[in-house]
Structure 1
Amino acid sequence: MDPEAVKEFIRREVPDWDDEVVAMARFKAFSGQRSDWELKFQFWRDLIIKVSRQFGLFIIDPVQVKKAWFDRGGMTPLCIDDVVLLMHSEGDVVRISDLDDPGSGRIARLLRTVKNLMVQQPVKQEEILENTLVLVPLLKEKAADVVKILSEGHWTSTCVVTLKKFRNLCNGSNEASAVLSHLSGCGKAHKISINRGELIEGVKVSFSQTALPGISTLDCDILHLLRTTEKLQDQLEVMDQRCEKSKKSALASLKSGHRKVALRHARELKVVTESREKCTSLLNRVEEVLNTIADSESTKMVSEAIKTGARVMKDIKISADDVHDYLEELEETIESQKQVEKALESAPYPDIDDEDIEEELLELEMDLESESSQVLPATSDTADSLTEMFSELKLGKTKQTLEEQATEPAQMKDSGKKILEAA
Structure 2
Amino acid sequence: MNCDSVREFVKREVPDWDDEVVATARFKAFSGQRSDWELRYHLWKDLILKVARHFGLFIIRPSQVKEWFNRDGLTPLCIDHVLLIMYNEGEIVRVSDLADPTSGRLSQILKKVRLLMFRPSTAEEALEDNLVLSALLKDKALEVVKHLSESNWTSSCIATLKRFGEICGGRDEASAVLSYLSGCGKARYLCNRKKEVIEGVKVSLSSDAISGITSLDCDVLHLVWTTEKLQQQLDVIDRRYEKSRSSAVASLRSGNKKVALRHARELKLASESREKCVSLLNRVEEVLNAISNAESTRKVSEAIQIGARAMKENKIIVEEVEHCLDEIDESIESQKQLEKALESASSTSFEDEDVEDEFRKLELKIENENLQVESGSKSPIQQSDASETAASLSSALSSLRLVDQADENETDKSEQSIRKNTPETRVLQAEFA
| Normalised TM-score (structure 2) | 0.77
1:270 and 1:223 map into 2 onto residues whose CA distance is 33
Aligned to 1:107: 106
Check the 8 A contact 2:120/2:126 in 1, yes or no: no
Deviation at 1:31, TM superposition (A): 1.5
SS in 2 for 1:353: helix
Check the 8 A contact 1:155/1:298 in 2, yes or no: no
**Aligned pairs, how many?**
357
Structure 2 residue 56 is the aligned partner of structure 1 residue 20: no
Structure 2 residue 318 is the aligned partner of structure 1 residue 315: no
Aligned to 1:300: 298
- Match 2:202 to one of 204, 222, 245: 204
1:81 and 1:38 map into 2 onto residues whose CA distance is 15
Check the 8 A contact 2:178/2:187 in 1, yes or no: yes
Matches within 5 A, 1:22-61: 22-61=22-61
1:106 and 1:203 map into 2 onto residues whose CA distance is 16
- Match 1:235 to one of 227, 233, 248: 233
1:192 and 1:105 map into 2 onto residues whose CA distance is 11
Aligned to 2:216: 218
Per-residue deviation, residues 22-41 of structure 1 (Å, max 9, x unmatched): 11111111121221111111
1:329 and 1:95 map into 2 onto residues whose CA distance is 58
Deviation at 1:100, TM superposition (A): 1.8
2:251 and 2:47 map into 1 onto residues whose CA distance is 60
- Match 1:149 to one of 124, 131, 147: 147
Per-residue deviation, residues 137-181 of structure 1 (Å, max 9, x unmatched): 211221122223323443433321111121111111110011111
Aligned to 1:409: none
Aligned to 1:176: 174
Check the 8 A contact 1:194/1:201 in 2, yes or no: yes
Q: Give aligned-pair identity as a percent.
A: 62
Deviation at 1:15, TM superposition (A): 1.8
**Unpaired stretches in structure 2, ≥5 consecutive residues:** 364-433
Per-residue deviation, residues 164-220 of structure 1 (Å, max 9, x unmatched): 121111111110011111222222221111123221000112245554332100000
1:345 and 1:116 map into 2 onto residues whose CA distance is 64
1:153 and 1:244 map into 2 onto residues whose CA distance is 30
Aligned to 2:165: 167
1:43 and 1:195 map into 2 onto residues whose CA distance is 50
Deviation at 1:335, TM superposition (A): 2.4
The range that moved more, 347-356 or 302-311, is 347-356
SS in 2 for 1:57: coil
Check the 8 A contact 2:240/2:270 in 1, yes or no: yes
Aligned to 2:77: 78
Aligned-residue Cα RMSD (Å) equals 2.3
The structure with the larger Rg is 1
Distance 1:88-1:345 versus aligned 2 partners, 3 A rule: closer
2:55 and 2:179 map into 1 onto residues whose CA distance is 22
Aligned to 2:135: 137
Aligned to 2:115: 116
Check the 8 A contact 1:158/1:206 in 2, yes or no: yes
Check the 8 A contact 1:160/1:219 in 2, yes or no: yes
Per-residue deviation, residues 282-340 of structure 1 (Å, max 9, x unmatched): 00000000000000000111111111122222233322222222222332333233334
Q: State the one-letter code of the partner of 1:168.
A: E
Deviation at 1:101, TM superposition (A): 1.6
Check the 8 A contact 1:63/1:130 in 2, yes or no: no
Q: State the one-letter code of the partner of 1:13.
A: E
Distance 1:224-1:326 versus aligned 2 partners, 3 A rule: same
Q: State the one-letter code of the partner of 1:107.
A: L
2:338 and 2:48 map into 1 onto residues whose CA distance is 58
- Match 2:284 to one of 286, 302, 310: 286
1:210 and 1:344 map into 2 onto residues whose CA distance is 42
Aligned to 1:5: 5
Per-residue deviation, residues 341-380 of structure 1 (Å, max 9, x unmatched): 43444453445535779x9xxxxxxxxxxxxxxxxxxxxx
- Match 1:353 to one of 337, 352, 356: 356
**Unpaired stretches in structure 1, ≥5 consecutive residues:** 360-423
2:83 and 2:102 map into 1 onto residues whose CA distance is 29
Distance 1:247-1:319 versus aligned 2 partners, 3 A rule: same
Distance 1:251-1:123 versus aligned 2 partners, 3 A rule: farther
SS in 1 for 2:177: helix
Distance 1:31-1:275 versus aligned 2 partners, 3 A rule: same
1:75 and 1:116 map into 2 onto residues whose CA distance is 35
Q: State the one-letter code of the partner of 2:305.
A: K
1:48 and 1:356 map into 2 onto residues whose CA distance is 64
2:129 and 2:109 map into 1 onto residues whose CA distance is 25
| Normalised TM-score (structure 1) | 0.79
Structure 2 residue 65 is the aligned partner of structure 1 residue 62: no
Check the 8 A contact 2:91/2:135 in 1, yes or no: yes
